[in-house]
Amino acid sequence: MKKLILLTVLFAFTTVAKAQLSLQPMVGVNFSSFKGVKDDKLKVGLAAGGELEYKFSANYGLSVGAIYTQEGSKYPLLVNTSKDANVKLEYLNVPILFNDHFYRGWNAQIGLQVGFLTKATVDHEYNDLTNYLNGGEELLKNKDVKDKCNSIDWGIPINLSYQFNSGFVFMVRTYTSLAAVFKGSAPGRNKYVMLGLGYNFDL
């Protein structure tokens, strides 16, 4: 009898837990740049991944995600030159977010995000750049600079989304890093705005 009661309780708990879990795959476009770098320009990249949310009430929940992002920036490394360095970064990000489903499909999120650098390259054309990135090479094309970048990025994501009755979700996410991109004293922290489309379904 005790085993039957225990199994019933476990089944009920599992059923409730599943009803409160939802999965949201997403894809989007990143508009990124470096905070703290003068005259930098927006760089367009891809974002793709998903988030798993646990709702502990009708309006509030916690979510964790895994999102691949293409980030970076374009900016001049020399004074009085129109040529830009094209820094290309790729991260696997893990956001942990508090969710507030505050009104009829609208959801606001804020939390902490940790990013793991998977790739870092730079392009440039000048041969007199003896700065931090190039090593004096005449032509930089997809030069690997991962060893000159911090392998961990972390910062604050803020997200606003709207879920349609169909389950599709449109979102706008901003991210500001609290960590430097490059090792040493080189300036620059990641920041971006992401426009995305997802689909939410219960598990």
**pLDDT over threshold 80, residue 121:** yes
Mean pLDDT of the chain: 86
**Residue 77: its pLDDT value, please?**
63
Terminal alpha carbon distance of the chain: 31
Answer whether 149's CB lies under 8 Å from 89's CB.
yes
User: 81: which 2 tokens?
Assistant: 């030159």
CA dihedral (147, 44, 193, 70) positive or negative: negative
Query: Which of 67, 72, 113, 77 shows the shortest CA–CA distance to 89?
Result: 72
**Residue 40: its pLDDT value, please?**
84
SS3 45: strand
pLDDT tens digits, 57-101: 989 999 999 999 999 998 876 544 556 788 999 999 999 999 999
Distance CA 29, CA 96 (A): 20
Lowest mean pLDDT among 49-63, 73-87, 157-171, 178-192: 73-87
Complete domains list, the chain, with CATH:
21-202 (2.40.160.20)
Higher-scoring residue by pLDDT: 133, 182: 182
Q: Look up the pTM and report it.
A: 0.82
